Amino acid sequence: MIRAFFALTLPDTALDQIERLQAAIPFGRAAPAENLHLTLAFLGEVSPETLEAAHEAAETLAPPPFALELRGLVHLGRQPGGVIASGVVPEPRLDGLAKSLRSRLAGTGIQLPRERFRPHVTLIRLRQDDADDATLARILGRHADFRAGPIPVTGLSLFRSYLGGDSARHEELARYSFDPADLRDVFSR
Ligand code: 2AM
């Protein structure tokens, strides 16, 4: 079985900003730059046939390119533990992209976890005793003005995730670029 997910990758400028922010948070395990992504749909453990069906479904997507912006920090998951993630400025085209991807996947019979789409980029993974509520609240407040972007979204990627060791390893299996004819619009804005 193959553990896989669809995600947006981030450009180097955003990764640099994120790495500076991670360095300013004095606890938890920072996600390495090569693991930073915005998950659109988590497939879980799937067979090679299901992965192929997911790949074919993603190939039919043709949304217009758009840009997004990271903003502020949020804590996700149960405290103690969970993760610190960057939030994302609400962007209907991002929600639309996740929705059409998920409905195409569902159309091929793939069962996705029932979690609603909550755009974020996981930055720090917390162990149970890393930070108490007050410390966590202080850090989230201190970095509430974190911003990264605008980040042009010109395609998405299918990743395989290998668990084990200190942090998972992600391998990009496929990249789905949006219509190159539209890219000039995003970059010229
Ligand atoms: P996240 O950090 O954006 O939450 C690979 O496991 C990736 O899939 C993780 O980095 C995680 O991204 C995302 N993911 C989303 N839902 C998940 C779930 N239920 N279990 C594990 N990973 C999930």
CB of 5 closer than 6 A to ligand 1?
yes
In a domain, 103, yes or no: yes
Alpha helices (H) along 112-179: 133-142
In a domain, 185, yes or no: no
pLDDT of 185 above 60? no
Query: What does the block give as tokens for 117?
Result: 């789409």
Count the Cβ atoms, other than its own, within 10 Å of residue 106.
13
Instruction: Write out pLDDT tens, residues 59-94.
Output: 999 899 999 999 999 999 988 899 999 999 999 999
CB of 17 closer than 6 A to ligand 1?
no
Q: Are 100 and 134 in contact (CB under 8 A)?
A: no
Please confirm, yes or no, whether 143 is among the known catalytic residues.
Answer: no
Reduced to 3 states, what is the DSSP secondary structure of residue 41? strand
In a domain, 90, yes or no: yes
From residue 155, alpha-carbon distances to 67, 104, 106, 118, 170 in Å are 11, 16, 20, 19, 17
Instruction: Give strand pairing partners of 29.
Output: 125
Nearest residue (CA) to ligand 1, atom 5: 161
| CATH code of the domain in which 107 resides | 3.90.1140.10
In a domain, 184, yes or no: no
Please confirm, yes or no, whether 75 is among the known catalytic residues.
Answer: no
CA atoms of 117 and 55, how far apart (whole Å): 20
In a domain, 37, yes or no: yes
pLDDT of 30 above 60? yes
Instruction: Give strand pairing partners of 71.
Output: 87, 147
- Give the Å distance between the CA of 43 and the centre of ligand 1: 9
pLDDT of 180 above 80? no
User: What pLDDT, on a 0 to 100 scale, did the predictor assign at position 88?
Assistant: 98
In a domain, 186, yes or no: no
State the angle between helix axes of 48-59 and 92-107 in degrees (0 to 180), rounded to the nearest 10: 130
User: What pLDDT, on a 0 to 100 scale, did the predictor assign at position 58?
Assistant: 97
Atom index in ligand 1 nearest the CA of residue 159 equals: 5
Place 105 in a pLDDT band, splitting at 50, 70 and 90.
Answer: very high
Q: How many domains does the chain have?
A: 1
Give me the domain span that covers residue 90. Answer: 2-177
User: What pLDDT, on a 0 to 100 scale, did the predictor assign at position 114?
Assistant: 86
CB of 86 closer than 6 A to ligand 1?
no
Nearest residue (CA) to ligand 1, atom 4: 122
Alpha helices (H) along 38-179: 48-59, 92-107, 133-142
State the chain's mean pLDDT as an integer: 93
User: What pLDDT, on a 0 to 100 scale, did the predictor assign at position 186?
Assistant: 56
User: What pLDDT, on a 0 to 100 scale, did the predictor assign at position 129?
Assistant: 92
